[in-house]
Chain A
Amino acid sequence: MKHIKTINGSTLKDTLTNGGCGECQTSCQSACKTSCTVANQSCQKK
C-alpha cells in the first residue's frame, strides 16, 4: 500500500477463538493499584 501502513492487524478479533481462559494476571496487581490499563498485560498462552 502506498498511502497506509498497518502496524498491527486484527489481533483483537483473532483472540475470539482462543481467549477467555482466565489464567492471566489480574491487572491491578502489577503496578498501578489506582488506574486501570489492561492492554499492557500479557497473555499466559503466548
Chain B
Amino acid sequence: MIHKFTLYGTNMVVDVNSGAVHIFDEVAFEVLDYYKKCDSTEIVDKLCAKYEKAQILEAIQELEELESRGELFYEDAYRDYLNLWDRKPVVKALCLHVSHDCNLRCKYCFAATGNFGGERTNMDPEIGKRAIDFLIQQSGNRRNLEIDFFGGEPLLNFEAVKEVVAYALSKEKEHNKKFKFTLTTNALLLNEEHKKYINEHIQNIVLSIDGRAETNDRMRFRLDGSGTYESIIPKIKDLADSRNQDNYYVRGTFTRENLDFASDVLHLADQGFEQISVEPVVAAKGTGYDIREEDLPVLFKEYEKLAYEYVDRRKSGQFFNFFHFMIDLSQGPCVAKRLGGCGSGHEYLAITPEGDIYPCHQFVGMDEFKMGNVNEATLDDRIQNKFKDTNIYTKPECVKCWAKFYCSGGCAANSYQFHNDINIPYSIGCELEKKRVECALWIKTQE
C-alpha cells in the first residue's frame, strides 16, 4: 500500500508497510499512477506528450529499484507476528485521578466539569499507595512504570501527590522498577512550593491553556464565570522557563468556535512556549462546539498554514515543537507498538479516588467498563484482554488506511463514544490525524 500527496509543491510518497518515505519529482510522481497497472511501453505512450521518453524510463527504473529494496509496495508482513507478540497483559502506566473535583467549570470538559458524573471527592493517599502496589503487582518484568496525576484538578490534592510519589520511589529498589511521573493541571493554583516540588519530582507536566485569551476564556472559566488566561499565563511561563523549556507541554483544545486554531498555537509560541500541543475537541453532536464534517476543509488549511509557519519559524531560530507534528521517522516506536496503539485498557489504566479501575481516564464512570478496585487488587481480565486484542487488524477502517502505523488505530474512548464499539474509529478524528501526519512528513522534507 502506498499513499501519495503533494503539499507546498513537494510530491511525497509513503510506502505504508515498510515505513519508507520518498520525495518524487513530477515525472516519477505521475509514472507511479501507472506503474503497477501498465508495462513500460504503455507508460511511455501515456506520458510521452508531457515528458521525454528517457526521463520516463529512468523513473520506471528508479521505482523498480525502490521496490527491489523493499521500500515501495512492500507487502504487509506484520499480521503474522501478532501471535508472537501475544503475551499475558501487563500494566505499565496508571492515570491516578487524585481529585474528582475542579476549580474550573470548562464548557467542553469530558469529565463533567471534574467529577466524572459522580461525587466531588479527593483520593485518599492510602488509595494512591494501593494503586502503586497494584501497578507493581500487575507489571510483570516491565521496569519502566508511569504514573500520571490527573483529575479533576490534581493540585486540589497535592499532599496526596507527594505521598504517592514518595511511596512509589520507596518501592523502586525492592521491585527493580523505575517510576516516571507526569501531572496534568489547569495551573490556577500553581505556586512556588508546587513549582519546586514538580521540578524535582515530576518528569513531565501538562499545563492546560487553549491559546489566545478570548479562545481560552470562552471555554475555560472559574465557578463565577471568569476566564483563567490572565491568571495562569505568568505562572505557566515561569514554570516552563524553570524547566528550561523542556519536559512540559502547554496543552490546549480547539473547538468549532476557534477553527482558526493555528493562531492559538502561534500565540502560545509567541509567548515563548516551546512545547505545544493543541488538539481537536471530541464532543457530542448538539453541543454547538463539536467539530463537524463540514469543518474539515477549513481545519486542513489551518494545519497546512501551521506547518508552513512551523518550518519558517524554526528556520529563523524561533524554535517550538508542536506535539502532532513530531514524528520520529528513524528512531520511533517499533511495529509491535504501532499495531496496538495507546495501550488503554491493558497497559494503561485509570484509577478513581475510590480506587475503581477503568480502561482509561475517558472511560471513568461507565459502569460497563469498571474493571475492579485496587483495594481488592482485582482486575477483570475479560475487559483487559478485549482491549489488548484490539489492534489495527481488528478495525476494518484501519486495515484500509495509509496512516495506520502513525496513529495506531486511534482512541478507543472516541470510538466507543461515537459507535459504541472500540473497533470502529471516530472518522473526524481519523481525517484530522491523516492531515497532521501529511504535514508532519512534509516538515521532515524541509529539515
Contact = CB atoms under 8 A, between A and B. Distances in A.
Interface of A: 1-13, 15-16, 18-44, 46
Nearest to B447: A7
Interface string B324-364: 10111111111111100111100110000000000011100
A43 B429 CA distance: 25
> Size band of the B side of the interface?
35 or more
A26 B323 contact: no
Given A7-B22, A36-B341, A44 B323 contact: no
Nearest to A35: B279
A19 B78 CA distance: 12
26 contacts: A4-B23, A7-B23, A7-B329, A8-B19, A10-B74, A12-B19, A13-B17, A13-B70, A19-B334, A19-B336, A22-B92, A23-B143, A25-B93, A28-B342, A31-B251, A34-B362, A34-B411, A35-B282, A35-B410, A36-B433, A37-B324, A39-B328, A39-B437, A41-B337, A43-B333, A46-B331
A10 B76 CA distance: 12
A33 B336 contact: no
Interface in B302-338: 323-324, 326-338
Interface of B: 15, 17-25, 27-28, 55, 58-59, 62-63, 65-66, 69-71, 74, 77-78, 81, 84-85, 90, 92-93, 95, 110, 142-144, 146, 148, 180, 182, 184, 204, 206, 249, 251, 253, 277, 279-280, 282, 323-324, 326-338, 341-344, 347-348, 360-362, 405-411, 414, 429, 432-433, 436-437, 444-445
Given A3-B62, A23-B142, A15 B22 contact: no
Contacts of B204: 29-31
Interface of chain B, main secondary structure: mixed
